[in-house]
Structure 1
Amino acid sequence: MSPSLTCTSLSFAWPDGTPVFDGLDVAFGPGRTGLVGVNGSGKTTLLKLVAGELTPTDGAVRTTGEVGYLPQNVTLDTALRVDEALGIAAKRAALHAIEAGDAAGEHFDTLGDDWDVEERALATLGELGLGHLGLDRGVGEVSGGESVLLRLAALLLARPDVLLLDEPTNNLDLYARRRLYAAVASWPGVLLVVSHDRELLDLVDQIADLRAGEITWYGGNFSAYEDALAVEQEAAERMVRVAEADWRKQKRELSDAQMKLARRKRYGQKMWDSKREPKIVMGARKRAAQESAGKHRIMHEEKLAEARERLDEAVEAVRDDDEIRVDLPYTAVPPGRDVLTLRDVAPAYGARVAGVFELRGPERVALVGRNGAGKTTLLRTIAGELEPVTGEARAHVPLRFLPQRLDVLDGGLTVAENVARFAPGATNNRIRARLARFLFRGTRADQKADTLSGGERFRAALAALMLAEPAPQLLLLDEPTNNLDMASVRQLTTALESYEGALVVASHDLPFLESLGITRWLLLEGGELRETTPEALTDPA
């Protein structure tokens, strides 16, 4: 039987009663499916329901075969060895006991037919770039990106029939991403992946678009999906224009009909007042006129209501993925102005910057390198969060740092209150007016930070930093696209288009970096910082 995943009448609501799914029916067969949708649409929730980490309010999830799940945030027990994290420790122990001459039956039962378990494990680690780890090494020595790959290696070794991946490229460097792409491209069973990574989504066979608790299917990869969506949206916008024209026409016809009826009523009243006809004739004529007028009015009102309904349906079909549009004149940095100077900086750990590195004017710098190279440490040192062991990191303009964890927000405060912390001199009206440009309009600005979705939280943190006083003329961003959906990535890109200061972005997301108009590419490698090009950032293997 082919592996499959089926959700029947699936319903789920959060403890506070907020519904996520209400009677969802969907099935996934063999092949690679990309699950897309705006932040908060329920993508991660659906994967957790399938993986059994959440229980449906109603309905059922059925799978044929084993399910493997790679969550968005991978945490491994640091006390484990690599073979324990891979789930093969018991089989290895049994294999070693047999090789040592212990012929106890339980060893053969534990090992089964998996006599090549060590070879397969080492081969899998090698394919994912983890060959240097070995099976006896402690997990505590593994970096964040390596822990994701280690969890993926465990899933590949287990060979589940259904594989669920939730933002698997988060925390992976460029080289690790290439290895993940290869694993996804060769996956033989059912694969369901949630990601904002374009390159990864271009490897799938179909796109499942989750919106308002329903899934719409699109054949082909993400690029084909975008093309189809563009055609669909163009047609939807045309329908809006047609429906608007029809609605205006029905409004005019109703207005004209009301004017005609008013004239008839005045004429009938005039005839009644002048008593030119017998009273019984005029009364019958008046009743007939009233009945006709009522039918006429009802007919036009029904036509107008139908036109309004068609317009509402047409508007609903047009996606309202708003873009951030902000005017930030006070962030401007004149060309040639000193922005940042690094002089023989040796951070607490990671790469050092030998000699003098200078950033001038509104340059846009991409900071790239392997996981563990020291990009975050360098940014934290520039931001003043870490003292360098030697040397000096000096910013000549106001700067702000947006870390991966988004911990610049106080979860107990509202969005507006968080922004006020960074701009204490701004009035409440000014803060709300500027927040509206970051899509926090009206009561949305009064949401507590800890109730926001991932994309909303990022947008709020970005607003807090970019609207801070004094205005930041140097902005440091650390992996800003992690956990963002494609719409949020576009919103971030448009917001940064309005930013006129200097920008340093650490990211493994090449398409995103290229969309920012990067002027300098810096690579942290081998303990040193050097200039590079996007073309050079390919897997040397």
Structure 2
Amino acid sequence: MYTPAFLTCSRLTFQWPDGTPVFEGLDLTFPVGRTGLVGLNGSGKSTLLRLLAGELTPAAGLVRSGGDLGYLPQDTVLDTAVRVDEALGVATARRALHAVEAGTATEEDFTAVGDDWDVEERARAVLDSLGLEHVGLDRTVGEVSGGETVLLHLAALLLRRPGVLLLDEPTNNLDRRTRERLYAAVESFPGILLVVSHDRELLDRVDQIADLREGGVRWYGGNLTAYEEALAVEQEAAQRLLRTAEADVRRQRRDLGDARTKIAVRARMGRRAQASGGIPRIVAGAKKRSAQEAAGKHRIMHEERLKEARERLGEAASRVREDEEVRIDLPHTAVPPGREVLTARGLRLRYGAEVGGLAVYGPQRIALTGPNGAGKSTLLRTIAGQLAPLAGEVDVRVPARYLPQRLDVLDDGLSVAENVARLAPGADNNTVRARLARFLFRGARADRPVGTLSGGERLRATLAAVLLAEPAPQLLLLDEPTNNLDLASARQLAGALGSYEGALVVVSHDVPFLRELGITRWLCLDGGLRETGAL
């Protein structure tokens, strides 16, 4: 029996074991079509997907869905030892079908096949549609690349013909070709699709944006570009309203001050008149009481107006988003134009990648692209001195720092400030904290253990530690730096790196991010290293 697709949550309440609230009484209904769920790191996007998928249990409220529900989590992992048909969930039906075709079928085999006589054709068609034409059903998962593993998991979900599909950062670590296949799958999905992503190109393919902020959701029609345009108009209006409210508070405060001054002057004049004996005491008392009553009403009126103005100011301020920007001013990272910072000759990497020669000059901004498994991360690790090449040599002539995909250069048990101090032993505590403030770690934020940070916060902390290290890096190697970052954090990163004055080599498949960085040189590693035009 066909069940129409629907996905709702009502009065959804959830908090972490330490009591930190995430959602309280959240009501949502997701429409048929493609929805992009956006919000700052730590706002609860992945948590909401896990609640909708049933992987987390809410403290209160209900989640209801119609049609089969498929969920693709971040960092999806499949057992490398299992066969592809097992990963797709069609192995039992395939074996039964082969038994029927061979004339050795049992009753259990016919039951296993059911009505799914075209199971192999369907599995093959889904794999082909995702660009996995070369992946045989009898191969093992360990024989496909990491990016192809994500598509393989997606293929398993699509074979179930779900009415609802939840995707959490599905393009992380996918090369350009694999991303295009995933984009096509998203665009052709017929049911309810909810995707959390920082990938601008993916979010420009959705029908509506759900903006998760402070435990609530606001809906915007259209894709990411339309959402950002609408948000810019909203914020411009909010800023105007804020300026008006601030001016009103100043005016009401001034009027209240004037009223108090007038009341005080009248009181002094009354006392002088009474003291001079020009007014009978009974008349003076009546005038005094009347003046006090009028003055009280006047003062109360102005105090109420000031209170109302402050309330309007608070409401106006709440509509203005305070998405702060990371600021970097590191003059010691500057490299003179044309100075050679890195040379490599006859370079052959582990796992077989051939690089040959490479020269990097300051302050070049290099994008290193290529398919998954080509050796891009291996090349960065070789330049950073973490891996020895199979052949050739690398000569790094300036201080260099490497920011790995896993962001595992920090000690989770130490605070942000302690981690930075560890890499900059010559800087005193005040200097460390002043520098950290530029990365938005102020006061108690700098004392938080790294293990408690969100993805975006961890990226900022790692970037701070790398850039504030001594000596200051004049060559920066970044490996997929926008993975797991929300859109605001990705913009912060691009803005921060915009003021970095050293040489930069970035591995990324995020083309809009690379363009925002102002890349001056594009390299592709695919069998060998070659210059390419801008993507």
With the shorter chain as reference, the TM-score category is over 0.9
* Residue 199 (structure 1) aligned to one of 198, 201, 207: 201
The 1-side partners of 2:404 and 2:145 are apart by 17
In the TM superposition, residue 282 of structure 1 has moved relative to its aligned partner by: 1.7
The aligned counterpart of 1:239 is 241
Partners of 2:374 and 2:271 in 1: CA distance: 91
Matched residue, 1:475: 476
Which residue pairs with 2:89 in the alignment? Answer: 87
Amino acid at match of 2:347: V
Matched-pair contact (CA < 8 Å) for 1:82–1:136: yes
What residue is the counterpart of 2:71 in the other structure? 69
How do 1:333-344 and structure 2 match up within 5 A? 333-344=335-346
Count how many residue pairs are aligned between Structure 1 and Structure 2: 533
Structure 2 distance, partners of 1:76, 1:369, is 24
CA distance in 2, matches of 1:350, 1:17: 50
3-state SS of 1:462 partner: helix
2-structure distance, mates of 1:265, 1:341:
86
Deviations 1:18-69 (A, max 9, x none): 0000000010121111111111111100000000000001100000111100
Contact 1:366 1:518 in 2 (8 A): yes
Name the structure 2 match of 1:108: 110
Report if the CA contact (8 A) 1:351-1:529 is conserved.
Answer: no
Per-residue CA deviations over 1:333-390 (Å, capped at 9, x if unaligned) read 0011110011111111142222x31111100000000000000001000000001111
The residue aligned with 1:416 is: 417
| Alpha-carbon distance in 2 for matches of 1:350, 1:176 | 22
Q: Secondary structure at the match of 2:481?
A: coil
**Cα displacement (A) at 1:271:** 2.0
* Aligned-residue offset at 1:215: 0.6
One-letter amino acid of the counterpart of residue 475, structure 2: L
Offset at residue 296 of structure 1 (A): 1.6
1:278 and 2:280 are equivalent in the alignment: yes
The residue number in structure 2 matching 1:9 is 11
Residue of structure 2 in register with 1:532 after alignment: 532
* Alignment-derived partner of residue 58 in structure 1: 60
Q: Structure 1, residues 482-509: CA drift from partner, whole Å, max 9, x if none?
A: 1001100100011001100000000011
Contact 1:350–1:372 at 8 Å: present in 2 too?
A: no
CA deviation profile, 1:80-112 (whole Å, cap 9, x unmatched): 111111111111111111111123221111111
2:283 is the alignment partner of 1:292? no
Instruction: State whether residues 2 and 30 of structure 1, in contact with CA within 8 Å, keep that contact through their aligned partners in structure 2.
Output: no
- Corresponding position of 1:444: 445
Task: Name the aligned partner's letter for residue 291 of structure 1.
Answer: E
Rounded Cα–Cα distance in structure 2 between residues aligned with 1:236 and 1:204: 26
Matched, 1:462 2:485: no
- Asked if the contact 2:68–2:160 (Cα under 8 Å) also holds between the matched residues in 1, the reply is no
Provide the identity percentage.
69
Partner SS, residue 463 of structure 1? helix
- For the pair 1:210 / 2:212, whether they are aligned, the reply is yes
SS at 1:534 equivalent: coil
Larger mean Cα displacement after TM superposition, 371-380 or 261-270: 261-270
The CA distance in 2 between the partners of 1:245 and 1:438, in whole Å, is 32
AA matched with 2:207? D
Residue equivalent to 1:250:
252
- What is the CA–CA distance in structure 1 between the aligned matches of 2:121 and 2:182, rounded to whole Å? 20
- Alignment gaps of 5+ in structure 2: none
Contact 2:333 2:474 in 1 (8 A): yes
Partner of 1:142: 144
Whole-Å separation in 2 of the counterparts to 1:265 and 1:142: 89
Deviation at 1:79, TM superposition (A): 2.0
State the Cα distance separating 1:276 from its structure 2 match: 2.3
Q: TM-score, normalised by structure 1?
A: 0.97
Per-residue deviation, residues 375-413 of structure 1 (Å, max 9, x unmatched): 000100000000111111111000000000000111101
In the TM superposition, residue 113 of structure 1 has moved relative to its aligned partner by 1.1
**What is the one-letter code of the residue matched to 2:439?**
F
Q: What is the CA–CA distance in structure 1 between the aligned matches of 2:236 and 2:90, rounded to whole Å?
A: 53
Output one character per residue of 1:269-290: Cα deviation in whole Å (capped at 9) or x when no partner: 2123223222222222222222
- Whole-Å separation in 2 of the counterparts to 1:342 and 1:335: 19
Question: Which of the residues 188, 191, 213 maps onto 1:189?
Answer: 191
* Structure-1 residue corresponding to 2:51: 49
Which deviates more, 307-316 or 46-55?
307-316
Encode CA deviations 1:244-268: one digit per residue, 9 max, x unaligned.
1111110110111011011011112
- Whether 1:347 aligns to 2:332 is no
| Among candidates 317, 330, 333, match of residue 332 of structure 2 | 330
Q: Report the alpha carbon displacement of residue 243 of structure 1 after superposing the two structures with TM.
A: 0.7
Partners of 1:301 and 1:2 in 2: CA distance = 57
In the alignment, what sits opposite 1:510? 511
Aligned position for 2:41 = 39
In the alignment, is the contact (CA less than 8 A) between 2:355 and 2:525 conserved in 1? Answer: no
Q: Secondary structure at the match of 1:341?
A: strand
Question: Any idea what the Cα deviations from partners look like across 1:102-129, whole Å, max 9, x if unmatched?
Answer: 2322111111111111111122112212
Residue 389 (str. 1) matches residue 390 (str. 2):
yes
Contact 1:13 1:21 in 2 (8 A): yes
- Secondary structure of the residue aligned to 2:369 is strand
Alignment pair present for 1:269 and 2:271: yes
Alignment-derived partner of residue 314 in structure 2: 312
* Matching of residues 128-167 of structure 1 within 5 Å: 128-167=130-169
Maintained 8 Å contact 1:9/1:25? yes
Look up the equivalent residue of 1:509 and give its one-letter code.
D
The residue aligned with 2:490 is 489
Alignment match, 2:373: 372
Give the secondary-structure state (helix, strand or coil) at the position aligned to 1:61. Answer: strand
CA contact (8 A) 2:37 2:210 kept: yes
SS at match of 2:388: coil
Judge conservation of contact 1:3–1:29 (CA < 8 Å) in 2. no
Partner of 1:539: none
1:348 and 1:357 mapped to 2: Cα distance?
17
Distance 1:7 1:75 in 2: 28
SS at match of 1:349: helix
Is the Cα–Cα contact under 8 Å of residues 7 and 30 in structure 2 kept in the other structure?
Answer: yes
Mean CA deviation greater in 53-62 or 288-297: 288-297
Distance 2:25 2:395 in 1: 57
SS at match of 1:471: coil
Single out whichever of 290-299 and 1-10 deviates more from structure 2: 290-299
Counterpart code for 2:493: L
Task: Map Cα deviations across residues 451-508 of structure 1 (whole Å, 9 max, x no partner).
Answer: 1111001111011101111000000000011100110010001100110000000001
Distance 2:366 2:270 in 1: 81
| Superposed counterparts of 1:10-25, under 5 Å | 10-25=12-27
1:401 alignment partner AA: Y
Answer yes or no: is the 8 Å Cα contact 1:41–1:210 preserved in 2.
yes
